Amino acid sequence: MFGVCWPARSRANQISSKVPSSDEVIEAYGRLNDLVRRTPVIAVERTTLGLPDGVAIQLKLEYLQHSGTFKARGASHFLVRNAVGAAGVVAASGGNHGAAVAWAAGQRGIPANIFVPTISSPAKVERLRSYNATVHQVGAVYGESLIASQDFQRESGATAIHAYDHPDVMAGAGTTALEFVEQVEGLDTMLLACGGGGLSGGAACAVGEWTRIVVCEGDTTNAYAAAKQAGAPTDVVVSGVTADALGATQIGALAWSALSSVDAPSALVPDAAVLDARQLLWDRLRIVVEPAVATTIAALRTGAYEADPDERIGVVLCGANTKLSDFT
């Protein structure tokens, strides 16, 4: 299956025993082989993205994944690995994880109850309902939706699927990075948007031993950056254009352990730069992504992450649950 040789991890003793190893992410990749899409990669000249000339940027079009985001990988892997009873599954989400759980559950005829905050975009709520999920809009932010989903789980006996802080979900998300480095060998650096850290943490588990993982956040959805400053996960107040997808009020424990083990740098960008980057992707490449995803391109354009001209950079464009009417 693999076109590259995965090195053994040398920092296994520095991360939580619950954090997936690179071998476990590889195993997850095998389990998901026939369940999720192998999303394409395109090479884009730096000047196209408004950057100084240099080695082309590799864009992984993970927004073409089932349910519109990478989260289909984590949800599918959880359901492969865990038994579910008649009460079905329950998940809290800004929208994308919920859509992934609803889609993956629907593939297996499993009932799904999804809790989302009131800030979730209408496009995401519509997608949830299109998968026949029962949608509960509760709370102003993800954390409040999570509490409501936990109450529902205790009362109903449904199986809870956490958006990011579960080993099987993180291993599934990490297959995105494995697939990327299989498609493009020799990547020096990978930029990923981060909310609770399932994708970036999974990438750290999968390839962080030899590829720099850059964590990209909005400056008002900065759970990882705040944890780095504090030296441990800490609560943040979230707001702004990236909040519906990157609205975790605290970085996940597993993600924090994984990202700390590889000393992943943080890149914070303001809302205006995010919206500018998203519009640029549409204008120049006809790529439609939601604002949170554009934090990666904004990090390069603003210098929040300063790339060398010869640095081989990969960017995961991980979600597109938005509407064309949002673009000018």
Of the options 3.90.660.10, 1.20.1340.10, 3.40.50.1100, 3.60.20.10, the CATH number for the domain spanning 74-160:
3.40.50.1100
Measured between alpha carbons, how far is residue 167 from residues 69, 108, 184, 203, 309 in Å? 19, 21, 26, 13, 36
CA distance 10 to 301: 33
Q: Give 9's pLDDT tier (boundaries 50, 70, 90).
A: very low
Per residue in 228-239, pLDDT (tens digit) is: 999 999 999 999
The share of the chain scoring above pLDDT 90, in percent, equals 79
CATH fold label, 12-68+167-326: Rossmann fold (3.40.50)
Contacts of 204 (CB under 8 A, 6+ apart): 213, 255, 258, 259, 261, 262, 264
CA distance 156 to 326: 38
CATH 3.40.50.1100 intervals, the chain? 12-68+167-326, 74-160
Query: 203: how many CB neighbours lie within 10 A of its CB?
Result: 37
Task: Judge whether 179 and 6 are in contact, CB under 8 Å.
Answer: no
Task: Judge whether 267 and 304 are in contact, CB under 8 Å.
Answer: yes
Lateral strand order in the sheet of 134-137: 134-137, 112-116, 89-92, 159-160
Per residue in 123-182, pLDDT (tens digit) is: 778 888 899 999 999 998 878 888 999 999 999 999 999 989 999 999 999 999 999 999
CA distance 66 to 77: 13
Task: Judge whether 110 and 88 are in contact, CB under 8 Å.
Answer: yes
How many residues make up the chain in this entry? Answer: 328
The share of the chain scoring above pLDDT 70, in percent, equals 94
CA distance 313 to 226: 25
Taken in order 277, 281, 283, 289, the sign of the CA dihedral is: negative
For residues 184-190, average pLDDT: 96
- Model's pTM, two decimal places? 0.90
Q: What is the pLDDT of residue 96?
A: 87
Residue 7 pLDDT > 70: no
Per residue in 215-267, pLDDT (tens digit) is: 999 999 999 999 999 999 999 999 999 988 888 889 999 999 999 999 999 99
The overall average pLDDT reported for the chain is 91
